[in-house]
Structure 1
Amino acid sequence: MNEEAYWFDYRIELEDGQVACLHIELDPVTLTMAPTSKGPYPPWTQLSYKQCQCCPLSPQTELYCPVAVNISDLVDRFKDILSHKNCMVVCETVDRTYSKKTSAMDALTSVFGIVMATSNCPVMDFLKPMARFHLPFSSVEETTARSTSLFLLGQYFKYKKGEVNGFDFDELEKSYARVQLVNEGLLARIQSLGKEDADKNAIITLHSLSQFLSLEMDFSLSTVAHLFERGSDA
């Protein structure tokens, strides 16, 4: 393990005693996830196989989809596990440890989220700063606050460099709209795999979240706006 890397150790223990341990390590400079497998990779991970509509990569120069490669092991491990199965999840990080008794889908959604954000997919790269401060099992409200706050922090640094003149959420909204297309593309890739639904439901949850965040940009961040409204007795 690189001592300078950011790392996240997940342990997912299902009710029937099955245990999955996942080590995710991010390069401290690029925030790119270290590959967990050297292959061979299944055919559905090839870039040309159901390539995402918004993908800027070319099958002529890239043989594999970077996200598909990094989730292939997860999909294989969980393809026959029902999403509603309960499990105990522990996520140990550099700074602290999180734990939660939850569903397999919730656990996988948390894992898929950080893996997809750090796999060097050009569409997902804007999520790397948020992945650095990965919050397992985050709620919609928490994710909204984190994503918008870090986006505005990034805009501030661009403003200091003279790269932008003001702050708005137009760019972030467009970015999340493209994330929806990536989620749809990944779901299409794994749609025919496995008899059960935990892996597919995890992707669907991420897709729903990206849809919600896109809508939130249109509706003035209503789920968090009340936190900044001061009552008369405050």
Structure 2
Amino acid sequence: METIDIAYVFHQEKHSSQRFEFQIDADTLTISNPPDSPLPEWAALEFHQCSHCPLRSDASPYCPVAACLVDVVSGLDNIVSHDEMDVEVIMPERNVSRHTTAQRGISSMLGLLFATSGCPHTAFLKPMARFHLPFASEQDTIFRATGMYLLAQYFRKKEGHSTDLELDGLTELYDNLHVLNAMMAKRIRSATTTDSSVNAVILLDMFTNLMPFVIEEKLEDIHHLFRSYLMGK
């Protein structure tokens, strides 16, 4: 099985470095090295289960997203949200490093894990996970998310499916993701003594919650970038 190997390394002066390595199946784009069982109670599917979750505990005893976060949450539980650190991301194509706060570094890592967890409500993010962009800005995410969704419509049309060029479906996907983020924050809050991982989810959700408004307003901010496409026929 071919994998895409990505590592996040957190360097902080008063703590030893923490390294998290993820192997992502190159075909299915799901994490292939989840934590070993038994998992903690907060990772059980029915523990703060999302109201729109299509999974059943008899077939999936653990929440896919929570299962992927177990080692991360326990490994970073001694770190406070605003602790400053150097975060290094090692990927096949490039290495990225940034001096930032714990919550921003963890948030970037959680974005990758949510997308590759196997959760039905995060599956739409897999193309962005394949081309993971650590520490993405709001404009980065707007461009990548809408571009990904519109490329998906191209492939849907090629295969004879209905298409959505108004981005209505993208709004619905992000609405569902907002529900998931809220419940995931509750799970993590019950499992930690510090706030870094919880606040990392909240940071992720800030954009998720604004996505419907972003589609309406913020896309106009990048309209000028496409002038060369809008000239003539």
TM over 0.5: yes
- Match runs of 1:154-233 below 5 Å: 154-165=152-163, 167-219=165-217, 221-228=219-226
> What is aligned with 1:46?
44
Q: Aligned partners of 2:226, 2:203: CA distance in 1, in Å? A: 28
- Match runs of 1:13-92 below 5 Å: 13-92=11-90
- Asked whether the 8 Å contact 1:141–1:223 carries over to 2, the reply is no
Letter in 2 for 1:114: L
> What is aligned with 1:146?
144
Q: 1:158 Cα deviation (Å)?
A: 0.6
Q: 1:38 Cα deviation (Å)?
A: 1.3
Q: Aligned partners of 2:164, 2:205: CA distance in 1, in Å? A: 29
Identity over the aligned pairs, expressed in percent? 34
Q: Aligned partners of 2:153, 2:20: CA distance in 1, in Å? A: 33
Q: 1:33 Cα deviation (Å)?
A: 0.8
Letter in 2 for 1:176: Y
Task: Describe the SS at the equivalent of 2:5.
Answer: strand
Letter in 2 for 1:52: C
Q: Aligned partners of 2:213, 2:32: CA distance in 1, in Å? A: 33
Cα RMSD (Å): 1.6
> What is aligned with 2:99?
101
Q: 1:45 Cα deviation (Å)?
A: 0.4
Distance 1:223 1:16, change over 3 A: farther
Query: Which structure: greater helix fraction?
Result: 2
Deviations 1:123-145 (A, max 9, x none): 00000011000000110100110
Gaps of 5+ in 1: none
Q: 1:188 Cα deviation (Å)?
A: 1.0
- Asked whether the 8 Å contact 2:149–2:170 carries over to 1, the reply is yes
Letter in 1 for 2:140: E
Distance 1:58 1:99, change over 3 A: same
Q: Aligned partners of 1:229, 1:131: CA distance in 2, in Å? A: 29
- Asked whether the 8 Å contact 1:47–1:65 carries over to 2, the reply is yes
Letter in 2 for 1:42: P
Deviations 1:9-44 (A, max 9, x none): 111111314211111111111001113311221001
User: TM-score, normalized by length of structure 1?
Assistant: 0.92
Gaps of 5+ in 2: 229-233
- Asked whether the 8 Å contact 1:216–1:222 carries over to 2, the reply is no
User: TM-score, normalized by length of structure 2?
Assistant: 0.92
Q: 1:190 Cα deviation (Å)?
A: 1.6
- Asked whether the 8 Å contact 2:42–2:191 carries over to 1, the reply is no
Q: 1:165 Cα deviation (Å)?
A: 4.6
Query: Of 9, 31, 51, which residue of structure 2 is paired with 1:11?
Result: 9
Q: Aligned partners of 1:210, 1:119: CA distance in 2, in Å? A: 18
Q: 1:229 Cα deviation (Å)?
A: 5.3
Distance 1:43 1:165, change over 3 A: closer
